[in-house]
Amino acid sequence: MFLLEVNGLTKRFGGLTAVDSLSFNVSAGETVGIIGPNGAGKTTVFNLITGFHRPTSGEVVFEGANLVGRKPHEIALAGVGRTFQVVKPLRGLSVFENILVGAFARTGDRVEARRIAQDIIEFTDLVAQREALADGLPIGLRKRLELARSLATGPKLILLDEVMSGLNPTESTEAVELIRRLRDERGISAVAGVEHVMQVVMSISDRVIVLNHGRKIAEGTPEEVAVDREVITAYLGE
Does 76 engage in binding with another protein (CB under 8 A)? yes
Does 137 engage in binding with another protein (CB under 8 A)? yes
Q: Which is nearer to another protein, 145 or 201 (CB)?
A: 145
Give 9's Cβ-side CA count (13 Å radius).
Answer: 33
Does 90 engage in binding with another protein (CB under 8 A)? yes
When binding is defined by CB under 8 A, the residue of 73, 115, 181, 196 that contacts another protein is: 73
Does 105 engage in binding with another protein (CB under 8 A)? yes
15 exposed, middle or buried (CB, 10 Å; 0-12, 13-18, 19+)?
exposed
Q: Which is nearer to another protein, 77 or 226 (CB)?
A: 77
When binding is defined by CB under 8 A, the residue of 3, 18, 60, 100 that contacts another protein is: 100
Which phi and psi angles does 88 have, rounded to 5°? -125, 70
Residues 48, 72: Cα–Cα separation, whole Å: 10
When binding is defined by CB under 8 A, the residue of 8, 27, 122, 136 that contacts another protein is: 136
Q: What is the dihedral of CA 206, 10, 161, 157, to 10 degrees?
A: -60
Does 110 engage in binding with another protein (CB under 8 A)? yes
Q: Three-state DSSP class for 146?
A: helix
Residues 121, 32: Cα–Cα separation, whole Å: 24
Footprint of another protein on 165-204 (CB under 8 A): none
Mode of pairing for the β-strands spanning 4-13 and 57-62: antiparallel
Residues that bind another protein (CB under 8 A): 50, 52, 71-74, 76-77, 81-82, 84, 88-94, 97, 100-102, 104-105, 108, 110, 113, 128-129, 131-133, 136-138, 141, 149-150, 152-153
